[in-house]
């Protein structure tokens, strides 16, 4: 179980940091790197990450780790734990002045800091901050799709309590929960994600756009087609989308996961070459892949790159993994 927890957490960081330098459009990524299959710093003209060194994690992983620590400190998933984890991260990065804070997260955090009710501060949050940081919550519910979805709903509430955001986060949490089951197949992990998306769509404020389920199925159909990998990636970019829109982000992440066969490093490479919001798509897809394949499936040289990153070091990821394992074991004893 610890192998899968570490696989998910390190997978999250791998997809995030490896895809971090990718440009917004795949033509620009190809122009900069060719086929992006090794570690790079962000180009000087990067619209978001200019100046970040190779191997640097971003807010995707930082928020996931901080929320996980908040839950560990609280002894379980609660609304207060979610607020605590988010606030700790926001203060840590000086969120009011950070260029890396997403619009929905910033709006929600400002409302929370103003003393508003955390059950209402996320009613306008529709971007992909919720699914990008939810994977550790899925780890706490091995094989329990409904439990993972219920916990995801709680964690979404402070900043991203719209229907698409909750549906997307629930899809990821449910997939990770199924990935925790020893011997689970990639098909069962993806099926759990689709079920999680359906259940999650029953929660949150109704919002614009197509369903998360539709975009996941669209991406899976492309991934299973006869085109070569490059053509499939371009179709996912053009047809599914790779923006901050939740159905696009989550749909693309599941498509990448399927296209890579659940291998964490291959998932990271494909996410980077997809481009768009590549670090977020990579973080989500690789968290699922890492939980499915386990820590041992992540190459040692890539683990070393992550562990050499100063920001990654600050979060004590191995200690977080141990804390999550303790919570799982406690829950199993109670059950």
Residue written as tokens 């698409």? 164
Residue 205 forms beta bridges with which residues? 162
Token code pair at residue 158: 């402070």
25-61 tens-digit pLDDT: 999 999 999 999 999 999 999 999 999 999 999 999 9
* CATH number of the CATH domain containing 290: 1.10.4080.10
pLDDT of res. 100: 86
For residues 291-311, give the mean pLDDT. 98
- Scanning 34-134, the segments in alpha helix (DSSP H) are 59-74, 79-92, 103-113, 129-132
pLDDT of res. 133: 98
Q: How confident is the model at residue 335 (pLDDT cuts 50, 70, 90)?
A: low
170-215 tens-digit pLDDT: 999 999 999 999 999 999 999 999 999 999 999 999 998 899 999 9
Q: Is the pLDDT of residue 238 over 80?
A: yes
Query: Which residues span the domain enclosing 170?
Result: 2-334
- Could you give the percent of the chain with pLDDT greater than 90? 97
What's the whole-number average pLDDT of the chain?
97
**SS3 label, residue 152:** helix
122-169 tens-digit pLDDT: 999 999 999 999 999 999 999 999 999 999 999 999 999 999 999 999
Instruction: Give dist(CA 266, CA 150) in Å, integer.
Output: 31
pLDDT of res. 113: 92
Instruction: Give dist(CA 290, CA 28) in Å, integer.
Output: 28
153 or 102: which leads in pLDDT: 153
**SS3 label, residue 206:** coil
Name the domain count of the chain.
1
CA distances from 28 to 24, 37, 270, 285 (A): 7, 15, 15, 22
Select from 149, 199, 138 the least CA-distant residue to 328: 138
């Amino acid at each position: 179980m610890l192998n899968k927890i570490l696989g998910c957490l390190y997978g999250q960081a791998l997809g995030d940091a490896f895809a971090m330098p990718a440009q917004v459009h795949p033509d620009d990524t190809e122009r900069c790197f060719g086929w992006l299959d090794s570690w790079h710093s962000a180009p000087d003209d990067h619209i978001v990450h200019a100046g970040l060194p190779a191997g640097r994690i971003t807010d995707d992983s930082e928020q996931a780790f901080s929320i996980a620590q908040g839950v560990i400190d609280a002894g379980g998933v609660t609304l207060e734990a979610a607020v605590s984890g988010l606030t700790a991260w926001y203060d840590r990065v000086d969120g009011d002045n950070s260029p890396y804070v997403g619009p929905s997260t910033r709006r929600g955090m400002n409302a929370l800091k103003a003393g508003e009710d955390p059950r209402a501060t996320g009613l306008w949050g529709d971007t992909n901050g919720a699914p990008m940081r939810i994977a550790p919550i899925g780890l706490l519910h091995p094989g329990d799709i409904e439990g993972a979805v219920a916990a995801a709903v709680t964690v979404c509430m402070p900043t991203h309590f719209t229907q698409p955001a909750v549906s997307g986060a629930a899809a990821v949490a449910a997939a990770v929960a199924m990935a925790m089951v020893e011997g689970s197949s990639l098909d069962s992990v993806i099926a759990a994600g689709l079920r999680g998306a359906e259940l999650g769509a029953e929660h949150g404020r109704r919002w614009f756009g197509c369903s998360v389920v539709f975009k996941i199925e669209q991406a899976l159909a492309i991934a299973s087609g006869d085109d070569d990998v490059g053509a499939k990636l371009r179709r996912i970019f053009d047809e599914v989308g790779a923006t901050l829109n939740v159905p696009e982000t989550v749909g693309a992440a599941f498509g990448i996961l399927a296209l890579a066969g659940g291998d964490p490093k291959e998932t990271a490479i494909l996410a980077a070459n997809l481009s768009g919001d590549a670090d977020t798509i990579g973080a989500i897809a690789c968290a699922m892949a890492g939980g499915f394949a386990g820590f041992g499936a992540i190459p040692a040289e890539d683990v070393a790159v992550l562990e050499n990153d100063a920001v990654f070091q600050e979060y004590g990821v191995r200690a977080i993994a141990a804390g999550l394992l303790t919570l799982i074991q406690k829950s199993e004893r109670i059950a």
